Amino acid sequence: MATSKTSLKEALEPVLPEPFVCKVRYIHTSPKPCDPLFSPPPGREPEKTRLASHFLTVSTTATQNHGKGELSPMPEHSDIIVFGIEVLVYTTKHLTTIFVSKADSTGFLPHKPHEIAVKPIVTTFLQWLTSEEQRRKPGRTAVVSLFARAQSQYLFPGSAENGRKHILDDRQLIKWWAKVLDPILSSPPECAGGSSKVPDVQGCITVPGFERGELRQFFPAQRSVAGIEQHWRAGHPLRELAEARGVSAAAPPRCLLPRFPDDPKARYMQDLDDEVGITEDATHSSPTKRRKGMWGSVRDLDRFWEAMEFRQECSSGRMVGFLWVVIPAQEAATNGAMEASQESSQGAPSSEPAIQRDVTPTPTSDGQTSPKKKRRPLTGLIIPRKPRLKGGSSSLSAASAGLNGMVEGAQAREGLMMTRDGYDRAMQTLLHLDFANLDVAARSTSKWVSEVSNICGLASDFAIKVAGTAKPADSTRKANGGRQVNDLGGMITKKRKATDGSASDHRALADTAEATNRVEAPAINTLGAGMIRKKPKPPVS
């Protein structure tokens, strides 16, 4: 990942195969204040936290299976959502948390394109979001976090009834997400200011009920890419993240664990809080009940993860995997680089020189100077703000300009910037649709797109077309000078065909058959003549 500005379309096209074409729709909200992600240590104020929601859908032309694995396009169904992912981005003063809330497919993408398209799209989208956050705030540590819990459907109601949907079990899902996050370790963001120092990116996996040695089965293959050794380890980075937040690693466990929506460990944390009478608002609980922020039965993080093994989510016969990828903070090389980054985030600077204010004191009637400063009239260009539409804000030319909408504050962003109410309305609409078969899925897709367009005040579809540019493996090999490939032809012995009944051909066939018989026939133990002792005959009288 690079810290330079790259559009989402430019990031997706190089990772998708050349014949693959899809439509991408991306909606998100601006960061708004929210409840703190971490509980504050005793005696400290909660961290000011802001939350931004991001939702990406991928749709393709619908296909109908006519048997024998053949798929043909259906003109009447021009567009059907095949995949969606929701990501929540929490930002504090020192930490950016990119949390994968939900990811789901509808099953209407053929199996092979599903393997070559969905995984790179998810990886690239997370890389792109992480790069954007690192580009805006290089002084913050970034962490990509998720928990993998196998379910038949997450985002698309009725999709589990589709027989073509490939549903992963718990073990497969954890391994799949580890492979999705693995490229982030091998291609971390470039350091701000062009520094050659490579961030020490770390991947962590925890599955309650598994020992550290047993977690190696979920690790992707270790390899070195461009001199960077990829590191996955069993455990969690919560203590390291606490230090990045300015919190001691010895703080109570409830202050080190994040509370995500629909999170199994967050529900357990709430139960532990209720046992000792701890509430998030210090004014509603006495110091005696708070017990210095400590739980009664769980005193450290290790004990917490051991107890998680017996929770209903983790003990019902299915495992739940918690995964993290931690990217250390990037420090700017010079103050000028930081100023340039701030100027770019606030819009194009004016060509006029900076206004110098007159600080010369003016004398009063008694001869003393007055501290009042004289102001000069403002000069320079006036850059008006674009009006915001009710329910969301977007550029009216977003569909034709590649979704490069201008949000309030003259900051260019991708996709459709929506208000929180508009975003929630769009997500609730999606969760009340049906994707059980092609007909209803096509109508549901059209209804959802129309609803989002109406919320944002758009007269047309807001999708952008993404066409893969990655060459197939064979084409890439030829383009790279015809690198040698593994050829098993020399290891296969073929029988020669007899032509014209020639003796040489018959002899070759006989030799081949004899060699084959020698290889395939089991060896027979025989005793040599010297090993057989014959009984001597009695002398003849």
CA separation for the pair 312, 310 (Å, rounded): 6
Of residues 441, 462, 436, the one with CA closest to residue 451: 462
Using alpha carbons, list the distances in angstroms from residue 456 to 88, 95, 425, 460: 21, 31, 11, 11
Collapsed DSSP state (helix, strand, coil) of residue 205: strand
From first CA to last CA, the distance across the chain in angstroms is 105
Complete DSSP assignment for 213-245: GGGGGGSPPP-EETTEEP-EEES--HHHHHHHT
Cβ atoms of 391 and 456 closer than 8 Å: yes
Of residues 327, 423, 269, the one with CA closest to residue 98: 327
CA separation for the pair 245, 96 (Å, rounded): 10
Cβ neighbours for 315, distance < 8 A, ≥ 6 positions apart:
209, 309
Cβ neighbours for 477, distance < 8 A, ≥ 6 positions apart:
483, 485
DSSP tag of 448: H
Cα 174 to chain centroid, rounded: 13
Using alpha carbons, list the distances in angstroms from residue 95 to 24, 144, 253: 29, 11, 18
- With 0-12 / 13-18 / 19 or more C-beta atoms within 10 angstroms meaning exposed / middle / buried, residue 509 is middle
Does the annotation mark 273 as catalytic?
Answer: no
Strand partners, 146: 323
Cβ atoms of 226 and 28 closer than 8 Å: no
Catalytic pick from 79, 263, 366, 461? 263
Collapsed DSSP state (helix, strand, coil) of residue 505: helix
Query: Which of the residues are catalytic?
Result: 263
